[in-house]
Amino acid sequence: MIVTRKKPFEAILKELEDAGSVFLIGCADCATVAETGGEDQIKEMTEKLTAEGKEVTGNVIPETGCHELDVKKEFRAHKEEVGRADAILCMSCGAGCQSARDATEKPVYPANDSIFLGNVMRVGQFEEKCRLCGDCVLDLTGGICPVTRCHKGILNGPCGGTNEGKCEVDPEKDCAWTLIYQQLEREGKLDRMRAIQAPKNWGPVLKPGRHVLERDKGGE
Ligand code: SF4
Ligand code: SF4
């Protein structure tokens, strides 16, 4: 899921300084799990903006904020409330905000910062385990990502700073390369630790990314 963090309310008020009325959009998927754009947060934001003298004309919580067709459909269904708003406040990730961007010509402002693609460890706790590098090396590293989970992102580890299984950069965190070593040892594949990996090719993640599924046309 995309992990988001609320911007300070003062920053949101600054974004909305020219707007007397606001329409809110959340997300029933990631932003609800991250507690930044679900029903409770929309309600809380409505109360806070109202207390600041803003009119909240309405809100919508699409199933997934990054599904542009759904967001457009929801905006059409809420045409009157969107039409009365001076601005749209988007309580999802940056991708969700840009779905809203394409669904209306009104100014769109983010209520959250998008921080990483995260695994859910338990309620309210997320960890980054993949940074979408476009050239996955998990087959070489026992299913543990050195690009993301090693602070230095090194492909030939560990570095000289690993200490009793912890990382020198952040001793609270396990050294990713120690975890990789332990897993490869379990699999009887420690020879992979000795293979020298070439510098990473970042070409596959040139931005902006675009991917179109090749559909099986069948019968041709
Ligand atoms: S190597 Fe790491 S960052 Fe790259 S795709 Fe695989 S898990 Fe994600
Ligand atoms: S101690 Fe381990 S996780 Fe930390 S930077 Fe070195 S190899 Fe990477």
Q: What is the pLDDT along the chain (220 residues), one digit of tens a residue?
A: 999 999 999 999 999 999 999 999 999 999 999 999 999 999 999 999 999 999 999 999 999 999 999 999 999 999 999 999 999 999 999 999 999 999 999 999 999 999 999 999 999 999 999 999 999 999 999 999 999 999 999 999 999 999 999 999 999 999 999 999 999 999 999 999 999 999 998 888 888 888 899 887 665 4
pLDDT of residue 206: 85
- Ligand 1 atom at minimal distance to the Cα of residue 134: 5
* Whether 111 and 187 share a structural domain: no
- Report how far ligand 1's centroid is from the alpha carbon of 137 (Å): 6
* Whether 85 and 189 share a structural domain: no
- Ligand 1 atom at minimal distance to the Cα of residue 133: 4
* Whether 79 and 25 share a structural domain: yes
Report yes or no on 153 lying in a domain: yes
Written as one letter, the residue type at 172 is E
Nearest CA owner, ligand 2 atom 6: 159
pLDDT of residue 220: 46
Closest CA to 25 of 85, 96, 76, 79: 96
What's this model's pTM, rounded to 2 decimal places? Answer: 0.91
pLDDT of residue 56: 98
* Whether 18 and 74 share a structural domain: yes
- Report how far ligand 2's centroid is from the alpha carbon of 175 (Å): 5
* CA separation, residue 219 to residues 25, 49, 214, 215, 216 (Å): 43, 57, 15, 12, 9
Report yes or no on 141 lying in a domain: yes
Q: How many domains does the chain have?
A: 2
Pocket of ligand 1, candidates 133, 150, 151, 197: which has the most ligand atoms within 8 Å of its Cβ, to mutate?
A: 133
Give the span between the Cα atoms of 126 and 10, in whole angstroms.
25
Range of the domain at 176: 133-198
Closest CA to 1 of 39, 41, 28: 28
Question: How many angstroms from the chain centroid is the CA of residue 84?
Answer: 30
* Whether 8 and 92 share a structural domain: yes
Report yes or no on 209 lying in a domain: no
With residue 125 as reference, give the H or E element that holds it: strand 125-128
* Whether 153 and 86 share a structural domain: no
pLDDT of residue 218: 61
Is the Cβ–Cβ distance between 151 and 174 less than 8 Å?
Answer: no
pLDDT of residue 219: 53
CATH of the domain at 65: 3.40.50.2300
Neighbours of 24 (CB within 10 A): 24
pLDDT of residue 150: 97
pLDDT of residue 198: 94
Q: Give the CB-side neighbour count of residue 66, counting CA atoms within 13 A.
A: 9
Q: Which residues contact 175 (CB under 8 A, 6 or more apart)?
A: 150, 157, 158, 162, 163, 165, 166, 167
pLDDT of residue 216: 74
Nearest CA owner, ligand 1 atom 7: 130
Helix (H/G/I), strand (E/B), else coil: 89: strand
Nearest CA owner, ligand 2 atom 7: 158
Domain-terminating residue out of 81, 115, 149:
115
Report yes or no on 216 lying in a domain: no
Report yes or no on 125 lying in a domain: no
Pocket of ligand 2, candidates 175, 178, 179: which has the most ligand atoms within 8 Å of its Cβ, to mutate?
A: 175
- Report how far ligand 2's centroid is from the alpha carbon of 164 (Å): 11
pLDDT of residue 217: 65
Domain-terminating residue out of 60, 82, 115:
115
Report yes or no on 220 lying in a domain: no
